[in-house]
Amino acid sequence: MSTLTGHSPRREPWTVLPWLATPALVVFVGFAVIPLVGVFALSFTTWDGIGAIHPSGLASWRSVLTNPGLPHALWVTFLVMVVSWAFQTPLSILLGTFLAGRQRYRALLGVVYFIPLMLSSAAIAIAYKALLDPNFGLGAGLKIHVLSQDWLGRPGLAFGVVIFVVSWQFIPFHSLIYQGGVQQIPKSLYEAAQLDGAGRIRQFFSITLPQLKYTIITSSTLMVVGSLTFFDLIFVLTEGGPGDATRVLALDMYKRGFQANLMGPASAIAVILVLVGLALALLLRRLGGRDAGASQLEGV
């Protein structure tokens, strides 16, 4: 069938490209844009999720913005975002750099590290909940006093546990990104540094870290925007408790919408989530410098 290529008319790229984008566009419009518009519209209504929808102007927004639960949920979300970022990033960079090396056993270790990534959040949460149970958990079972704390029953501890479990789950993913980033760094840079007498630690701070700038931005964007939508893990682990110590914005939205039957205020929170997420993503792009495509390899 050698004639096929010969006879097919050569189309100009600009007539083909829009068609190539169509499937992605349809999915994006169908599952992102339309629901977004719907949620925005719902935030100006009163609806219990079961009966008829009544337009009610700004009533839902007023109830959300005057509710003391909102600043609290925003604060918890912010804390989760910052603390989990600060905890995950250094560990992910170190692990990623370690795994990018070519020494023995690293491929095997890499596979072991990635196991948490393959588990579902709900399964992880259930497992940790069982392990941390103050009466039937690991600490009580092995009679280790330090481990038999009321892990999920005290506000500070529960918050710490949430951060730990989230990090346990997502550090492998970010290590993978950093591993790729480190492997992209030209060997010649390290060779030059070695000739100049730089040790391993100096090499890490002067070459690896600066070269990972865009990888850090990508990974941070994923972490920060991702932490806005943490839901499943926290829902199963603590249900936002004890009290409202771990009630992040996404959980607050769910509880108002589906447990308290207040779809209007829940939609308003959803809109706030979208706006905060967009603002953060833009901000992080800005931090990356004006020209994100600029070369890091000038002079190499």
Partner 1 sequence: MALSRRTLIGLAAGLPVSAALAACGSSGPGKSGGGATYWYLNGQPQESVRAGAVDAFNQAHPKEQIKDTTFQNDAYKTKIKTAIGAGQAPTIIWGWGGGTLRTYVEAGQVEDLTSWFDEHSEVKKRLFPSSFGAATVDGKIYAMPCETVQPIILYYNKKVFEQVGVKPPKSWDDIMALVPRFNAKGIAPFSLGGQSRWTNMMWLEFLFDRIGGPEVFQAIIEGEKNAWSNPDAITALAKVQELVKADGFVKGFSSITADSNADQALLYTGRAAMMLHGAWSYGIQQADGGDFVPGGGLGYMTFPPVEGGKGDPSDTVGNPAQYLSISSKASAEQKKIAKDYFTTGVLQDAEVKKWIDNGSVPIRLGTEKLLAASKSADFLQFTYDIASKARVFGQSWDQALSPTAAETLLDNIAKLFQLSISPQQFARNLNAVTGK
Question: What is the binding site for partner 1 (CB under 8 A)?
Answer: 48-52, 129, 132-136, 150-153, 155, 158, 238-239, 241-244, 255-256, 258-262
The alpha carbon of 281 is separated from its chain's Cα centroid by a whole number of angstroms, namely 12
- Torsion of Cα atoms, 191 then 197 then 198 then 200, to 10°: 80
Of 76 and 262, nearer to partner 1 (C-beta) is 262
The DSSP secondary structure of 207-224, one letter per residue, reads: IIHHHTHHHHHHHHHHHH
The least distance separating partner 1 from the CB of residue 84, rounded to whole angstroms, comes to: 20
Three-state secondary-structure class, residue 239: coil
Residue 275, both tokens: 């706006």
Residue 260 is classified by DSSP as S
Q: Toward partner 1, which CB reaches closer, 97 or 238?
A: 238
- Tell me phi and psi for residue 59, to 5 degrees: -60, -45
Contact 128, 165 (CB under 8 A): yes
The CB-of-244 to partner 1 minimum distance in angstroms stands at 7
- Report whether 43 contacts 268 (CB < 8 A): yes
d(CA 66, CA 90): 38
Q: Residue 153 or residue 160: which is nearer to partner 1 going by CB?
A: 153
Q: Which is nearer to partner 1, 29 or 260 (CB)?
A: 260
Nearer to partner 1, 186 or 243 (CB): 243
Tokens matching residue 111: 């596979």
Q: Residue 198 or residue 236: which is nearer to partner 1 going by CB?
A: 236
Q: Minimum Å distance from CB 267 to partner 1?
A: 14
* Strand-pair partners of 46: 54
Residue 143 CB, shortest distance to partner 1, in Å, is 13
Cβ of residue 68: shortest distance to partner 1, in angstroms? 9
* Beta-carbon contacts of residue 173 (< 8 Å; ≥ 6 apart): 117
Pick between residue 174 and residue 255 the one whose CB is nearest to partner 1: 255
**Distance in Å, CB of 35 to partner 1, minimum:** 14
Distances (CA, A) of 55 to 34, 38, 60, 69: 19, 13, 10, 24
Shortest Å, Cβ 138 to partner 1: 13
